[in-house]
Amino acid sequence: MGKATRVSMAVVRRLPRYHRYLGELLKNDVRRISSRELSERMGVTASQIRQDLNCFGGFGQQGYGYNVEELYSAITKILGLDKSYNSIIVGAGNLGQAIAGYTNFEKSGFTLKALFDKNPKLIGLRIRDIEILDVDILADFLNENKIDIGILCIPRSSAQQIADILTHNGVRAIWNFSVTDLNVPDNVIVENVHLSDSLYTISYRLNEDELFKTIEKDKQKAFN
Ligand code: NAI
Residue 211 CB less than 6 A away from ligand 1: no
207: left (phi over 0), alpha (psi -120 to 50) or beta: alpha
Q: Which of 61, 78, 95 is the last residue of a domain?
A: 78
CATH number of the domain that residue 127 is part of: 3.40.50.720
In a domain, 90, yes or no: yes
Domain assignment of residue 23, given as a range = 9-78
Is residue 108 located within the same domain as residue 128? yes
Tell me how far the alpha carbon of residue 96 lies from the centroid of ligand 1, in angstroms.
7
CA pseudo-torsion sign 167, 105, 89, 7: positive
In a domain, 3, yes or no: no
Is residue 140 located within the same domain as residue 172? yes
pLDDT of residue 62: 62
Tell me how far the alpha carbon of residue 12 lies from the centroid of ligand 1, in angstroms.
28
pLDDT of residue 57: 85
Q: Which of 78, 96, 115 is the last residue of a domain?
A: 78
Tell me how far the alpha carbon of residue 178 lies from the centroid of ligand 1, in angstroms.
7
DSSP per-residue letters across 124-175: T-EETTEEEEEGGGHHHHHHHS---EEEE-S-HHHHHHHHHHHHHTT--EEE
Instruction: ipTM value, please give it.
Output: 0.98
Residue 200 CB less than 6 A away from ligand 1: no
In a domain, 15, yes or no: yes
From 125, 153, 179, give the residue whose CB has the most ligand 1 atoms within 8 Å, as the site to mutate. 153
pLDDT of residue 35: 83
Residue 193 CB less than 6 A away from ligand 1: yes
3-state helix, strand and coil shares in percent for the chain, rounded to the nearest 5: 50, 15, 35
Is residue 180 located within the same domain as residue 130? yes
List, for residues 77-103, the tens digit of each pLDDT value. 999 999 999 999 999 999 999 999 998
Strand (E) or helix (H) holding 33? strand 32-33
Residue 118 CB less than 6 A away from ligand 1: yes
Closest-lying ligand 1 atom to the alpha carbon of residue 177: 41
Residues 6+ apart with CB under 8 A from 23: 72
Our count of domains for the chain comes to 2
What does the alpha-carbon distance between residue 224 and residue 32 come to, in Å, rounded to a whole number?
Answer: 57
**Low-confidence residues of the chain: pLDDT under 50:** none
